Structure formats: C-alpha cells, structure tokens
A and B are shown apart, each in its own frame.
Chain A
Amino acid sequence: MKRVVHAFVVSLKGITGALMVTLWLCLLWQVFARYVLKSPSTVTEELARILLMWLGTLGASLAFLLNQHIAFDWLQEKGSPRTRLFVRDFSLAMSFVFGLMCLIAGSTVVAKTWALGQVTPVLKVPWSLVYVALPIAGFFICLSPFHEEG
C-alpha cells in the first residue's frame, strides 16, 4: 500500500507542478498579449481559472497524502500517549470520511452536469470535466491514512 501511495504522491507532485508552471505561463501571456499584441486574451483567462480549480483540489489532496494540512495540534503536543494515538486516528478517520464525501458527492455532481451538458463560455470545456477534480481528489484524500511524511 505504501508503494502505491508513494507512486500517487510522485505523480501528483508532477501534475500539480505542471499545472503551476502552465498557470504561470498563462498569466505572463495575459500581460504580453495586452501590451505587446494589443489584444487581451480571454482564452488564457478562462483556462487559468479552470486550472486553478484543479490545482487547488489536487494540490490539497497531495497535502493530505503528505499529512501537511493545518490543524490545531494542542492535544497532539500535550496529550498522554494514549490521547495522542486517539487524536491521530480520529483525525485520519475524519479525513477519510471527508474524502468519501468528495468521492461520492463529486461523482454525482459530475454525472448531473454531464447530463445537463453545460460548457464553459469561451473554451466550451464541459463543466463535468472541471468537476472531475472533486472525485479524484476525494479518492486521494481517502488514502490519507496511508500518508507519507512530507
């Protein structure tokens, strides 16, 4: 299991890194298109917004797999060994429940928007494709009990 999670972590790092670089190029292109080419780009603006939603959700699932989300860790610091163990398991269990919620609810949202056939205004990307980030992130969050140390 650890090896599977490790493979996911490596690929998520690659994907989110690529998203970040693409977003950066989109933003630089925006400024360049407006001032040098004198024609503001609506394509890169919409693309950037879609990629940001993907970056935020997939990056967050990476943070779950690396166990780096911010929490109030007073009990974890000050509690007895038994309390610490309980706190660790409880927070992992809650993260798992949340991941399951994203996986199930995300899938139904994808199915609904697919049926409605909604697309984004400029690039005509189906909204269902944008929402796919939710169940994917949910799946990874469900694996957070097997997290690596980041």
Chain B
Amino acid sequence: MQLAVIGILTVTFSVLLFFGVPISVAIALSSFCALLPLYDPLMASEVIAQKTLTSLDNFGFLAIPFFILAGQIMNAGGIARRLIDLAKVIAGPIPGALAYCNVVANFLFGAVSGSAVSSAAAVGSAMAPIQKKEGYDPAFTAAVNIASSVSGLLTPPSGALILYALISGGTSVIALFVAGYIPAALMSLSIVAVIAIKGKDMPRGSRDLWRAPHVVKTLIDALPSLALIVLIMGGLIAGIFTPTEASSISVLYSLVLAFAYRELKLRQLPTLVKNSVVTASIVLFMVGTSSAMSWVFSIAEIPTYVTQAMLSVTDSPWGILLLMNLVLLVMGTFMDLTPAILIFTPIFYPVAVKIGVHPVHFGIIMVFNNCIGILTPPVGSSLFVGSGVSGVSLERIMPKLMPMFYAECVALALVTFIPGLSLWLPRVFGLV
C-alpha cells in the first residue's frame, strides 16, 4: 500500500509538472490521486480541500504577504537606489568596482527586503546601464547580479526561512534570521572571489568616491534605509514584536520613508498592493496544497521510509548530509524555492534531526541549497528575472554564471559541514 501511494504520488506529480500544470495544482491533484487507493473520490477531495485551507490558519504565515509588500515599496520608493550608492562607495576605486558594488548592493537590499527576485530586479535594472556605459561585459555583470541576488533569502526578513520554520514544526524564526547572516555573507564572498579572479582588467571606480564629503553624504542618505535592519532585528531579538508583527512595521516604515523621499506616489499603491496579493497568494496557496501533500506523506509513512533508506546507504552524518545536498541541488534545478522547501522539509527534517543536525543549521542548509537552485535552468526565478532586466540571453549568461555556481557550491559545503557558521551568532544572542 505504502509503495502504491509513493508510486502514484511521484508519477502523477512528475507528469503534471512536466506538462506545465501550475505547481499548486500539480501538488493537489497528485495528492488526490495518491489518496484514491485509501478513500472514495469525494472523501479524498474533501481532505485535500480542507487541509489546503486550514493549514493557512497560522499567525506566522501572515508575515509573508507583508514582507513582500514592504519589498515592493522599498523597490519603488528609492530605497534600493540609496543602498546602491552606498555600495558604490564601499567598492570604491578598485578594478571591477561596479561588479563588487552589485554584490554589496544585493546583500544590503536583501538584508532589508529578504527577497532574491526583488533584489535581482531592483539592483540589476539600476546597475546594468551604468555597468554597460563603463565598459563591463553585460553577460558577466548579469551573472554577478543573478548569483549575488539570492543572498537576501538567507538574511531576514526572508520568506524562505519563515516557511521552513513553520513547516518544520516550530523552529525559531528569530534564531533562523540571526543564523543566516554569516552564511549569506559567505555566499556573497564566494562571488567576490570569482570577480577578484576574473575582474583584474575591468574598469576602476572613480577616485572621487572615497572623498570624505561624498562618503558622509552617501552614508547619511542610506542611514534611514539601514535603520530598518536595526529596527526589525532589534525588535525581534529584544522580543518586542513577533516576526509577523515586524512585517507590518516594516511596511509602515518603508511607506513613511518612500513618501518622505517623495519617490512613491499615492496612486502607485493599489498596483503595489495587487502585485503583493498575487505574489503572496501564489506562495500561500502552495503552502496550503503542499501541506495536504505532506499529510499524504505522513499517512504513507514516507519520511520514515526515506530515513531508513538513507540510513541503509550510509550511517555517517556527513554522508547523509552530502546525500541530502545532492538530492536538493538536483531537485532545486527543476523546482522553484518555495515548492522545494515545502516538499522536502517534511521529508528530510526527521532524517536530519535523527542524525543530530540542529534544526536551525538544517534550515540554513535547506535554504542555501535552494538559493543555488534558483540560479540554474530549467527553473530559476532569479536567473529569469536577472536575464530579463539585463536584456542578455540565458545562453550568453550561463558560461559566465557557471564559475559562480561552483563557488557557491563550495560555500554551501562549508556551511553544511561547519555548523558553527550558522549556529555561532544565534548562540551569542542566546537564541539556540
């Protein structure tokens, strides 16, 4: 019976996915088919429908729409541009300055918006014309933008970390938020290393960037945007508000800032709200349908089955972590971040806990892995957005992106096998 359920689930899901059916529909219909050996069709569809709705009955998921909205407001409200100016000063007059600047800007924007796609769009579209004017290879800079945009998914307020926290059954969102900073920095450094090797002959930044008045002015301009990080993280660590409440405050703060900068018009707001509703609902609906699917997993005891199968291959924790990384990397190329986290967390989490991996550390491994996944075709949201805003075709970007992909895999290996990289910071704050 168990094998029948697993078989039906895998085959129908793969077929539906391959033929372009929306992912949430593919998840729901394959779960429905897998339940047919156990229930009559009406009962099976009632279970799926009910699970889809009630799994959203969780205060934690409310953070997702509002962090998305805050990201949209930051993008439209001139916050991204001020962070890019600051990144230019940080990169200064070294060769390849604008490429480093792109990495730093993505890290900063990711750290306020928690979104890879917003970051790739906001930073990439602002940087690409300047980089082109100064004689950078557009394919290379597009690759840099794409590869570095995903660091935002590891820094708060990352929706991916919130999803993992809730799906894994109560890992602390705040601990995950704090844990993500060092791995995200490591990810950015891996791109910096590639630029350092490839970019020796690239144009230098202007010497004027490091003149004191300019530095002070840029810093003052960017300070209100950076203060958001302090406000949100400070509030979370001090226990003043929950991550969900933080999301609403983040919307309020970015609205005030965007209006104060006079870059956001009141009439733009309905469009921003509509875009956020649609983006967030697509994620929430996937959360709903995939929790129906993970309910099917649990009645078929798939997590137990996978744990036993993995332990029979190797019983070394390192071997199992390596195995999980490989599976996630391969699946990550075919799946977008959200469904990959929703589907693989319930399957791999019990295995990870059994071999003694800390839930916070495992969350970082999961998300880091899927970050790399959205850089690669055939399904890669950051890749598509980055290629779209730069106007460079995927065929031209891919060769330039490959070294960065390998560099990020090295960073992933470090994060996987050195737990301290993820756990040290939360320990300092007494969160784990």
Q: What is the interface of chain A, defined by CB distance below 8 A to chain B?
A: 13, 16-17, 19-21, 23-24, 27-28, 30-31, 35, 45, 48-50, 52-53, 55-60, 62-64, 66, 68-76, 87-88, 90-91, 94-95, 97-98, 101-102, 104-106, 108-109, 130-131, 133-134, 150
Interface status of B258 (Cβ within 8 A of chain A): no
CB distance from B175 to the nearest CB of A (A): 21
| Interface contact A94-B25, CB-CB below 8 Å | yes
Near A by CB (< 8 A), chain B positions 36-81 give 42, 45-46, 48-50, 52-54, 56-59, 61-62, 65-66, 69
A52 touches B20 (CB 8 A): no
- Distance in angstroms between the alpha carbons of A53 and B274 in the assembled complex: 17
A-B contact pairs, 14 of them (CB 8 A): A17-B277, A19-B277, A27-B244, A45-B59, A49-B57, A57-B285, A60-B282, A69-B24, A71-B20, A95-B22, A98-B25, A104-B42, A105-B45, A105-B49
The CA-CA distance from A34 to B380 in the complex, in Å, is: 42
Say yes or no: A101-B48 contact (C-beta < 8 A), given A52-B62, A53-B53, A63-B282.
yes
User: A109 contacts which chain B residues (CB < 8 A)?
Assistant: 46, 49-50
Chain B residue nearest in CB terms to A112: B46
What's the minimum C-beta distance from B93 to chain A, rounded to whole angstroms? 42
B318-335 interface mask toward A, CB cutoff 8 Å, 1 = contact, 0 = none?
A: 000000000000000011
Q: Are B46 and A30 in contact (CB under 8 A)?
A: no
> Is B241 in contact with A63, judged by CB distance below 8 angstroms?
no
Name the A residues within 8 Å of B196 (CB-CB). none
Pick from A17, A69, A104, A134: contact of B273, CB below 8 A: A17
Whether, in the assembled complex, B280 has its beta carbon less than 8 Å from a beta carbon of chain A, the answer is yes
Interface size class of B (residues with CB under 8 A): 35 or more
> Which residues on A sit within 8 Å (CB–CB) of B49?
101-102, 105-106, 109, 134
List B contacts of A73 (CB < 8 A). 20
Interface string of B252-267 (1 = CB under 8 A from A): 1000000000000000
State the main secondary structure of chain A at its contact with B: helix
Report yes or no: A55 in contact with B22, Cβ–Cβ below 8 A: no
Q: Inside 8 A of B387's CB, which chain A residues have their CB?
A: none
Contact of A52 among B56, B240, B241, B273 (CB under 8 A): B56
A126 to B329 alpha-carbon distance, docked (Å): 45
* CB-based contact A52/B61 at 8 Å: yes
In the complex, per-residue mask of B331-353: 1 if CB is within 8 Å of any chain A CB, else 0? 00011101100000000000000
**Which residues, 244 to 300 on B, are CB-close (under 8 Å) to A?**
244-245, 247-249, 251-252, 270, 273-274, 276-278, 280-282, 284-288
